[in-house]
């Protein structure tokens, strides 16, 4: 159980950093999409 808990904690860290990256990426692409639309 403790092993599993440690594993899921690590996974959460990875996931949250991935989510932060993905969020930043989608924000960027949203801006690009608006740029593209305005042309």
> Residue 17: what are its φ and ψ, rounded to 5°?
-70, -35
10/22 Cα distance (integer angstroms)? 18
Question: What would the pLDDT profile of 18-27 be if each residue is shown by its tens digit?
Answer: 878 888 877 7
Q: Which residues of 1-39 are buried (b: 16+ CB within 10 A; e: fewer)?
A: eeeeeeeeeeeeeeeeeeeeeeeeeeeeeeeeeeeeeee
The tokens describing 12, both together, are 């959460």
Q: What confidence score (pLDDT) does residue 3 get? A: 76
Say if pTM beats, i.e. exceeds, 0.75: no
């Amino acid at each position: 159980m403790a092993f599993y808990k440690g594993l899921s904690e690590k996974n959460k860290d990875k996931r949250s950093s991935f989510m932060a990256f993905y969020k930043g990426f989608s924000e960027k692409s949203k801006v690009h999409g608006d740029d593209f639309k305005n042309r």
